[in-house]
Amino acid sequence: MISEASTHLEHGLGQESVERENAALNQSDSALPEESPATLPSPVAPSEDAASQRPDAPEGEELSFAEMLAEHERGESSQSRLSPGQRVSVRIVAITGDTIFVSTGSKVDGIVDREELEHEGELPYQIGDMVDLYVVTVSPQEVKLSRILRGAGSISALEEAKSAGLPVEGKVTGQVKGGYAVDIMKRRAFCPASQIDLRPLEDPESAVGKSFPFLITRLEKSGRNIVVSRRMILEREQAENRTALLAEIHEGDVREGVISRLAPFGAFVELAPGVEGLAHLSELSWARVAQADEAVSVGDTVRVKVTGIAEDKKGARISLSLKQVTEDPWKDVASRLEAGAVVQGKVVRNAPFGAFIEVLPGVEGLAHLSELSYAKRVMKADEVVVPGDIVSVKIKELDADKRRISLSLRDAAGNPWDTVADTLALDAEVTGTVEKRAPFGLFITLAPGLTGLLPNAVIQASASRKSLEKLSAGEAVTVRIREINTEARRISLAPAGEEGSASAEEKDWKRHAPKAAPAPSIGALGLALQAAMQKKKK
């Protein structure tokens, strides 16, 4: 009955006439006498055509005529949507020696030459695999597809490829003024530099010698003037990938991507071929990042969280975060660090006011310039540490709520004044280095963080005055420890081997001290009066 009704349908009978015939056939069947199973005619086998069964129906259940007609119309509509040059994703349904059959979504299967999909003589596909192809021609009998046009071809083939928007394989043979020379189907073509990629190539020479698919944008003078574009293909694929990605991506999703390029304000992550999102500098790491390359490198595979999707005139902008995929390291920093502890850290960057040191992954503290060294006055952090150095630091203050840690390199090494008695002794002779000359004497470094003063008065009274006055910063000199004042953090020095230096300094002070005034004279009359008074007493 199905086969007879299908025949009527093909001869143009309307739906109503088909239903009338079906009812008549049912009545005829009910009037037949009962027969034994052995004499009953074999049931008609269901058609193998996909259109004869409802996709979601139980096996063996046939479509009604209305459903068959609707399926037929859907196939016609699907077929009419295919157009030459269109890029489609199809499934392989059959493979023969020369041809591969694919499902195009219409009632007419597509065909593609087997050699188009072979690689080095081998076919890397099997039935059921999906493959992206371009529509070459569409007819009621077949849909011909191709991965790309290649090999030698006539002008008519080039014109057909141009009109159909079909990609043509081309090999970049060299750079020329304004672009590249490209070999297209054994003919010379020109690709402008702006059309070789979506963005200007960092190394223009890198494209030479490579083969790419191109679209023919101009074909003149019987093939003597051919202009091609690769960028148009990439833009088309990018638009398709973006549409597919935006249909499935949502804010809050965690996805995997590849770092495609770096910028002063962050890093671009490719989420799908040609579709990028931006991770701002502040979202690359929980640690402070001044440049993107401090956190990531081009080619890195990373996990990112989608923090925003915004539409504008240029399309969709996808905001990403690398740090939000991991837990905030400051969350439990109070339980892992404490004030007064000495820990190892890595110098991550220097600033005009100090050095930032990472003491835990993603947790940084600041060592101010005044906390970098006891040994010398530090004007720049670079004088003591450079990024990458591993150093010991003492935690002076910790405020997890404000995300601030104050560090000290000098306290981690110890205050040299706390052990000065073990380092220096009174009257001991030591060799130091002249740090600088001041109006009141020479400052001499005796040990890291310990500097003494050789006063000018002592120098002037010394037998080696001339040699001491010639000393300059950086020169070595041997001196004697005269005095150590730990409270005032002062050390007084004298030239080595001169015991009288202290008394010489005292005499020098007395020589410049004001003299006492002489007693006034009482004269002759006074002497006479004095003698008379003494005589009277007797």
Which DSSP category does 224 fall into? T
Answering whether pTM is above 0.95, one says: no
Q: Going by DSSP bridges, is the β-strand pair 301-312/315-321 parallel, antiparallel, or unpaired?
A: antiparallel
**Which residues, in sequence order, are bridge partners of residue 280?**
266
Q: Which residues contact 110 (CB under 8 A, 6 or more apart)?
A: 90, 101, 102, 103, 104, 133, 135, 142, 143, 144, 145
Q: Which residues contact 461 (CB under 8 A, 6 or more apart)?
A: 501, 504, 505, 507, 508
Which DSSP category does 232 fall into? H
Give the tens place of pLDDT for each residue, 482-534: 888 887 888 889 898 876 444 444 444 444 444 554 545 555 666 666 777 76
Question: Residue 463 — very low, low, confident or very high, per pLDDT cuts 50/70/90?
Answer: confident
Task: Say whether both 336 and 408 belong to one domain.
Answer: yes
Distance between CA 459 and CA 436 in Å, rounded? 15
How large is the average pLDDT for residues 176-180? Answer: 93
Weakest mean pLDDT among 183-197, 355-369, 422-436: 422-436
133 three-class SS: strand
Does residue 41 sit within a domain?
A: no
Helix, strand, coil percentages, rounded to 5, for the chain: 30, 35, 35
Q: From its phi and psi, is residue 53 left (phi > 0), alpha (psi between -120 and 50) or beta?
A: beta
Cβ atoms of 227 and 189 within 8 Å: the answer is yes
Does residue 519 sit within a domain?
A: no
Query: What is the signed CA dihedral for 415, 419, 420, 421, rounded to 10 degrees?
Result: 160
How large is the average pLDDT for residues 236-265? Answer: 89
Domain with residue 378: its CATH number is 2.40.50.140
Q: What is the pLDDT of residue 64?
A: 61
Q: What is the pLDDT of residue 24?
A: 41
Does residue 66 sit within a domain?
A: yes
Task: Say whether both 214 and 256 belong to one domain.
Answer: no
**Which residues, in sequence order, are bridge partners of residue 399?**
404
Does residue 76 sit within a domain?
A: yes
Task: Say whether both 338 and 395 belong to one domain.
Answer: yes
Q: What is the pLDDT of residue 41?
A: 37
Domain boundary among 146, 166, 193: 146
User: What DSSP assignment string belongs to 161-185?
Assistant: HHHHT--EEEEEEEEETTEEEEEET
Does residue 408 sit within a domain?
A: yes
Give the tens place of pLDDT for each residue, 395-449: 999 998 888 999 998 888 777 777 787 778 888 888 988 888 888 888 988 887 7
Cβ atoms of 396 and 411 within 8 Å: the answer is yes
What's the mean pLDDT when you consider all of the chain?
78
Task: Say whether both 73 and 1 belong to one domain.
Answer: no
Cβ atoms of 134 and 147 within 8 Å: the answer is yes
Distance between CA 162 and CA 148 in Å, rounded? 13
Domain boundary among 203, 235, 267: 235
Task: Say whether both 360 and 402 belong to one domain.
Answer: yes
How large is the average pLDDT for residues 125-148? Answer: 83
Task: Say whether both 66 and 13 belong to one domain.
Answer: no
Which candidate, 28, 7, 27, places its Cα nearest to that of 18? 7
Domain boundary among 90, 119, 146: 146
Task: Say whether both 101 and 56 belong to one domain.
Answer: no
Does residue 320 sit within a domain?
A: yes
Count the residues in the chain: 538
Q: What is the pLDDT of residue 393?
A: 92
Task: Say whether both 431 and 501 belong to one domain.
Answer: yes
- The domain containing residue 124 runs over which residues? 82-146
Task: Say whether both 77 and 87 belong to one domain.
Answer: no
Question: Residue 20 — very low, low, confident or very high, per pLDDT cuts 50/70/90?
Answer: very low
Q: Is the pLDDT of residue 38 over 90?
A: no
Which candidate, 60, 74, 56, 133, places its Cα nearest to that of 101? 133
Q: What is the pLDDT of residue 31?
A: 39
Task: Say whether both 428 and 382 belong to one domain.
Answer: no
Q: How many domains in the chain?
A: 7
Give the tens place of pLDDT for each residue, 287-311: 778 889 888 999 999 999 999 998 8
Number of C-beta neighbours around residue 193 at 10 A: 16
Does residue 72 sit within a domain?
A: yes
Does residue 537 sit within a domain?
A: no
Looking at 229-336, list the stretches that DSSP marks H as alpha helix, in order from N- to C-terminal side.
231-248, 333-336
Task: Say whether both 454 and 409 belong to one domain.
Answer: no
Task: Say whether both 337 and 318 belong to one domain.
Answer: no
How large is the average pLDDT for residues 241-254? Answer: 89
Q: Is the pLDDT of residue 53 over 60?
A: no
